[in-house]
């Protein structure tokens, strides 16, 4: 008998069965998926939830990757994916997701059983130069750096190596604020588990 995947969708079981399992306390809905209530809240699980929205050729990135890595308490409403420039992917359009083409090394992609996601370093590097300054990006990078103390050094090195990068000065200033907050022991955002069990 084939084992069902950890994150279920309506392709795996009819909606009526999924709802009945939720009422029985066996499953809980997360975004477009259904997850057993006793499943550990790990990055692979969160990646599989986000991946239900797109084909495996796409790579989870930016805010969606920040959720996968534990810096957000809930997945963003608009899922963010990227595709390597070298990949041969047809035009893809769907609701509630954004796809962009990027230059990305295989070392910057984490392979999960049902999804691919940008690494911690690449996720922080992608978030730092975003021009939207609503404070959320500082919080996300701060949460990632607080959980992984080596990350700030990697981001600083990446920024030094990125000579022709749009919004580089913004990225450096944002990283400086994040490093100051983390060094003072007051990260700009307290990371918490994404799911409540």
Q: Give, for all 197 residues of the chain, the pLDDT tens digit.
A: 567 788 998 888 999 999 999 999 999 999 889 999 999 999 999 999 999 888 778 999 999 999 999 999 899 989 999 998 887 766 666 778 888 889 999 999 999 988 999 999 999 999 999 987 677 888 899 999 999 989 999 999 999 998 888 888 899 999 999 888 888 876 564 445 455 44
Residue 192 covered by a domain: no
d(Cα 68, Cα 152) in Å, to the nearest integer? 19
Residues 81 and 137 in one domain: yes
Q: Tell me whether residue 196 is in a domain.
A: no
**How many structural domains is the chain composed of?**
2
For the purposes of burial, counting CB atoms within 10 Å of the CB of 36, is it exposed (0-12), middle (13-18) or buried (19 or more)? middle
Q: Where are the alpha helices (DSSP H) in 2-150?
A: 15-23, 43-51, 62-68, 120-127, 136-147
Which residues in 143-193 belong to E strands, given as ranges? none
**What's the pTM?**
0.86
Alpha carbons within 13 angstroms on the beta-carbon side of residue 190 total 3
Residue 197 forms part of a structural domain = no
Is the CA virtual torsion 98, 85, 167, 148 positive or negative?
Answer: positive
31 and 53 share a domain? no
User: Which structural domain range is residue 6 located in?
Assistant: 1-39
Report DSSP state, residue 70: T
Examine residue 130 and state whether it is found in any structural domain, yes or no: yes
Which residue in this structure is represented by tokens 């990350």? 151
Q: In whole angstroms, give the CA distance from residue 174 to residue 194.
A: 24
In order of 60, 72, 79, 164, 179, the CA distances from 47 in angstroms are: 8, 13, 11, 31, 27
Tell me, yes or no, whether 161 and 70 share the same domain. Answer: yes
89 and 1 in a common domain: no
Residues 18 and 95 in one domain: no
**β-pair partners for 29:** 34
Same domain, 130 and 143: yes
């Amino acid at each position: 008998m084939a084992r069902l995947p950890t994150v279920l969708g309506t392709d795996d079981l009819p909606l009526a069965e999924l709802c009945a399992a939720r009422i029985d306390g066996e499953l809980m809905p997360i975004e477009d998926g259904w997850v057993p209530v006793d499943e550990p809240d790990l990055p692979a699980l969160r990646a599989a939830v986000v991946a239900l929205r797109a084909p495996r050729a796409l790579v989870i990135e930016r805010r969606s990757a920040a959720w996968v890595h534990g810096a957000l308490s809930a997945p963003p409403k608009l899922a963010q994916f990227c595709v390597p420039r070298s990949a041969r992917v047809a035009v893809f359009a769907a609701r509630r997701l954004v796809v962009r083409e990027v230059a990305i090394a295989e070392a910057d992609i984490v392979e999960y059983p049902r999804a691919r996601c940008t690494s911690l370093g690449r996720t922080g590097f992608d978030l730092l130069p975003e021009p939207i300054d609503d404070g959320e990006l500082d919080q996300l990078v701060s949460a990632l750096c607080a959980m992984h103390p080596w990350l700030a050094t990697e981001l600083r090195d990446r920024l030094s190596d990125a000579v022709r990068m749009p919004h580089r000065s913004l990225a450096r200033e944002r990283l400086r604020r994040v490093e100051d907050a983390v060094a003072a022991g007051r990260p700009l955002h307290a990371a918490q588990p994404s799911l409540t069990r």
